[in-house]
Structure 1
């Protein structure tokens, strides 16, 4: 019961920008994101990565938006379990202030990426890749999946190793708090 009180309290504050304050990381952990770890704000790496259409990107391309950057691979079972929730989060909260970026990391042939996303029912996420693991290494990613929260100024503010239900009320409230700042 206590975790739901914390969740709904954080949702009330997130919904009212005039009351917005610091993100309540503990409430997010208590409400269903137990592996979430707050980071001391530090600039996210600006290492290039690509998309399946041959374009080159960096996280700076999304500056001004809060991001949830998810590193995943086609061979990763927890990634498969998590991907529909990431897609649902993008559908629910994606827009001017927030974006989910899923980045297939390592050797993930384009056909395997497309098959993985189709089987997971993903329709709202970009097809981004980091085949040389350059961004993953610069970000300190040692396992998959890893999700990194980046604020609108381009600073890493939290991360989670392992899968999560990113479409849960706890995750939605957390994104509301991050985008209200």
Structure 2
């Protein structure tokens, strides 16, 4: 029971900033991470002050096998995206940093079309209605409104805060994960994404 009461507090911990991200600070640590040399956690900071943590702690872990729901109501699993790299964003419409970064994830989905799959899976318990409304209001056009009302993904990635974004290679193995909001369509992120190639 205590764990169930603590879960919302843990999830909200990443959702306490309400400023819009405007690009990451370029640091020696993040540049060495982009080349694949660093394996320690690295803090990334946007120009607006939002911060995120890049972690390789789960490098090589297999993607979870549970299902979530597509826009048409069909069951979907991460293995449905096998064969090329996959970027999975775990988010919710009630999470301010999640909403702030979503337009850049949408832009990244367009930039990376053909190279990798980019998906955003909402943890909203109300299902697709709030996700579709947010996508329409924000002009999100390259992402499908995937939903995980059972919080299967959130349960698999125990202890994460929202937003969390995980990069998988084409074999379904984790490369890295980022907890916190970022500008996903900038050059620094492009270098990090190439680590899945």
Same fold by TM-score greater than 0.5: yes
Aligned 8 A contact 1:145 1:161 in 2: yes
Stretches of structure 2 that go unaligned for 5 or more consecutive residues are 1-24, 46-50
Q: CA deviation at 1:83?
A: 0.1
CA contact (8 A) 1:71 1:145 kept: yes
Deviations 1:143-170 (A, max 9, x none): 2111111111101121111111111111
Shift of 1:177: 3.4
Give the length in aligned residue pairs: 167
Compare the two structures and name the one with the higher helix fraction: 1
Q: Determine which structure has greater relative contact order: mean sequence separation of CA pairs < 8 Å that are 6+ residues apart, divided by chain length.
A: 1
Distance between the aligned counterparts of 2:65 and 2:180, measured in 1? Answer: 23
DSSP 3-state at the match of 1:83: helix
Residue 140 of structure 1 corresponds to: 158
Structure 1 residue 23: deviation in Å? 3.0
Residue equivalent to 2:180: 162
Question: Contact 2:88/2:121 (CA < 8 Å) preserved in 1?
Answer: yes
Query: 1:17-28 residue pairs with structure 2 within 5 A?
Result: 23-25=36-38
CA root-mean-square deviation: 2.9
Contact 2:69/2:146, CA 8 A, preserved across alignment: yes
Gaps of 5+ in 1: 11-21
Q: Which residue of 2 aligns with 1:60?
A: 79
What TM-score comes out, normalization by structure 2 length? 0.73
TM-score with structure 1 setting the length? 0.79
Does the CA contact (< 8 Å) of 2:70 and 2:146 recur in 1?
Answer: yes
